[in-house]
Amino acid sequence: MLKYIISFFILINVVSVFSQKEKDTITTSTYGMKIGIDLSKQIRMLTESDYKGLVVVGDYRLLDKLFLAFEIGTEEKLIENEVLNFNTKGSFLKVGANYNVFNNFKDLENEIYVGFRMGSSKFEHQLNSFTIYNKDQYWSQNEINSTELFKSLTGTWFELIFGFNAEVFRNTYMGLSLRLKRLLSQKEPNNFRNLYIPGFNKVLENNKVGVGLTYTIQFQIPIYKKKKKSN
Amino acid sequence: MYKIKSIFLTILIFLFACEPDDICLSEIDDTPKLLIGFYDKNSGNLKEVENLKIQGLDNDQIYIFETIDSIGIPLINNKNLTTFNLTKNFEEDNVDSGNNDKMFVNYNPNWIYISRACGYITNYDIDNLIIENDIENWIIDSEIITYSIKDEENIHVKIYH
């Protein structure tokens, strides 16, 4: 993971160095809409056999530094530990904004941004089996295979984001972001807990904080150009 | 740039921090046992049962062999019936020794979610407790004090002898 982070920093630095060699000219900046996918889900699908996910990401450049952003996706995961075995599947939507704090040289369009998202998810759990916590092992019958479906569950949360997008080719961006999340509300199942929420990720039982990571590739649809404000 | 890098590293550390709720702590109460107290029929006080052997039906292991006045016995989690053989005056080197009384406990198990690490526990709703009549019962009577088995704080069943 660190490898990607470092390479992104190098990439931004290299791009900046090249730009300084150019002559001073009046430059324009492209305003448009970016759309792409979160590749981290596809990486997870390769490394975790019991995970499926697809997330479409996008943003729209509203002002010079301000981007309206959204993410829409679906996830399915089998979670298994020593005492529980269950599937969670559902879909989610996140909307929010990014604010670019990076001053680009000339006609470059890289972003280092801070942002936020409001997330909302609808999902269900299928409990496959569980173990009865019993220190006494006299009957050694603590494994219960009883399937139960917990439907129509929901969760909402807030995310704080730090990330960057680098324009690797014209109108093609690669990005990485780290997220700190806080669960705001959830509809809990009866006699079970939301241990995983699609879009939010793993939910801890004793606090409401979660973390996340995205690794995106996005393509920009240019809509109009505007003269760039001087740096 | 350095400031940004430090923010970045802080969040990264957060990402890989360990998760404390993956361990089931032993302080957490597990599935309660059925607590039985042995009482004197006349005085109503706790009275020890001499050399009592308790063994579950169809279980090769002896659960306990001791002189005691109270005991917690485990019920089967996924069935409605657990049967125990309670043998008084048992002798270790003689399998058929002592006075054996058979006890049937009928109940409904309820599985209650505890946590990610501990899973579930069982609580029991007792329907009834039957002592099988034989030629010579050492158990005179039984009385269910608590029908809902949720903890091990008080005796659930009194057995008079």
Mean pLDDT of chain A: 88
Measured between beta carbons, which residues in chain A are less than 8 angstroms from residue B56? 138-139
Measured between beta carbons, which residues in chain B are less than 8 angstroms from residue A5? 8, 12
The answer to whether the CB of B116 falls within 8 A of the CB of A84 is yes
**Does B64 map to a domain?**
yes
Choose from A131, A138, A190 for mutation: most chain B CBs within 10 A: A138
Residue scoring higher pLDDT (A104 or B54):
B54
Contact A81 B77 (CB under 8 A): no
Residue scoring higher pLDDT (B7 or B77):
B77
Tokens, residue B83: 């049967």
Q: Of B22, B9, B12, which is closest to residue B118 (Cα–Cα)?
A: B22
Average pLDDT, integer, range B108-113: 95
Beta strand spans in B31-118 (E):
34-39, 49-56, 64-68, 70-73, 81-88, 99-115
Lowest mean pLDDT among A20-34, A184-198, B36-50: A20-34
pLDDT at position A2: 53
The answer to whether the CB of B49 falls within 8 A of the CB of B38 is yes
Q: Is the pLDDT of residue B7 over 80?
A: no
**Does B17 map to a domain?**
no
pLDDT digits (tens, 9 = 90+) for B53-107: 999 998 999 999 999 999 999 999 989 999 999 999 999 888 888 899 999 999 9
**Does B88 map to a domain?**
yes
**Does B4 map to a domain?**
no
Structural domain boundaries in chain A: 28-224
pLDDT digits (tens, 9 = 90+) for A20-67: 544 456 678 889 999 999 999 999 999 988 999 999 999 999 998 999
Q: Is the pLDDT of residue A9 over 80?
A: no
CATH code of domain A28-224: 2.40.160.20
In percent, how much of chain A has pLDDT > 70?
A: 87
B64-68 sheet: strands from edge to edge: B64-68, B49-56, B81-88, B99-115, B119-131, B148-149
List the single residue in A131, A162, A202 with the smallest CB-CB distance to B11.
A162
pLDDT at position A206: 82
**Does B11 map to a domain?**
no
Give the count of domains, chain B.
Answer: 1
The answer to whether the CB of A211 falls within 8 A of the CB of A179 is yes
**Does B122 map to a domain?**
yes
pLDDT at position B32: 95
pLDDT at position A25: 60
Measured between beta carbons, which residues in chain A are less than 8 angstroms from residue B27? none
Label residues A193-219 b or e (16+ Cβ within 10 Å = b). Answer: bbbbbbbbbebeeeeeebbbbbbbebe
Mean pLDDT of chain B: 88
Q: What is the domain extent for residue B146?
A: 27-160
Measured between beta carbons, which residues in chain B are less than 8 angstroms from residue A112? 4
Q: Is the pLDDT of residue A7 over 90?
A: no
Choose from A139, A193, A211 for mutation: most chain B CBs within 10 A: A139
DSSP B74: P
pLDDT at position B153: 92
Lowest mean pLDDT among A171-175, B3-7, B114-118: B3-7
Measured between beta carbons, which residues in chain B are less than 8 angstroms from residue A136? 30-31, 33, 74
Chain B residue set in contact with A, beta carbons under 8 Å: 4-5, 7-8, 11-12, 14-15, 19-22, 24, 28, 30-31, 33, 56, 59, 61, 63, 74, 76-78, 82, 111-122
CB atoms within 10 A of CB A81: 13
What confidence tier does A3 reach under pLDDT thresholds 50, 70, 90? low
Contact B20 A206 (CB under 8 A): yes
Shortest CA gap A83–chain B (Å)? 5
Query: What pTM was estimated for this model as a whole?
Result: 0.81
Tally A–B CB contacts below 8 A: 101
